[in-house]
């Protein structure tokens, strides 16, 4: 029971941290939108992860907004990875397998999404 509660607590902290980081990044992006006069309906440039660092350095809103979006999408995935580590550490093979299967589903989604876009 203690192991379960420890895992619950670790996952909870990850979710809280990921959410606040993501919302913080998006809030910076929104403030930069307001400062630079970008309308929410202006239509953003297409998603290009390689462009994010340069956009952030240049204080362009898209850099912070895309990074915030990536962080919030990664937060639940990170939760599954942390759970997987916890289950492996406690020898819960069945739950570890389920965690891996969830990550496989996410991976298949990425592959299918990229394939469909080409």
Residues in touch with another protein (CB under 8 A) = 1, 4-5, 7-9, 11-13, 15-16, 18-19, 22-23, 26-27, 29-30, 33, 38-44, 46-47, 61-62, 64-66, 68-69, 72-73, 75-77, 79-80, 83, 92, 94-95, 98-99, 101-102, 105-106, 108-110, 112-114, 116-117
Please, what is the minimum distance in Å from the beta carbon of residue 79 to another protein? 7
Please, what is the minimum distance in Å from the beta carbon of residue 90 to another protein? 12
Closer residue to another protein (CB): 53 or 76 = 76
3-state secondary structure 68-84: HHHHHHHHHHHHHHHHH
CB 25 within 8 A of CB 68: yes
Alpha carbon 77 to chain centroid, angstroms: 7
Q: What torsion, rounded to 10 degrees, do the Cα atoms 34, 36, 39, 44 define? A: -120
For residues 3-26, b (16+ Cβ closer than 10 Å) or e, as one string?
Answer: eeeebeeebeebeeebeebbeebb
Closer residue to another protein (CB): 57 or 74 = 74
Please, what is the minimum distance in Å from the beta carbon of residue 59 to another protein? 15
Please, what is the minimum distance in Å from the beta carbon of residue 81 to another protein? 11
């Amino acid at each position: 029971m203690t192991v379960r509660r420890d895992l619950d607590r670790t996952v909870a902290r990850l979710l809280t941290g990921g959410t606040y980081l993501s919302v913080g990044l998006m809030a910076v992006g929104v403030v930069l939108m307001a400062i630079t006069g970008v309308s929410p309906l202006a239509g953003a440039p297409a998603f290009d992860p390689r462009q994010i660092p340069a956009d952030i350095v240049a204080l362009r809103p898209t850099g912070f907004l895309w990074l915030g979006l990536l962080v919030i999408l990664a937060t639940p995935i990170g939760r599954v990875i942390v759970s997987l580590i916890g289950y492996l550490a406690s020898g819960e093979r069945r739950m570890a397998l389920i965690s891996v299967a969830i990550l496989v589903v996410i991976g298949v989604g990425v592959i299918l999404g990229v394939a469909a876009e080409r």
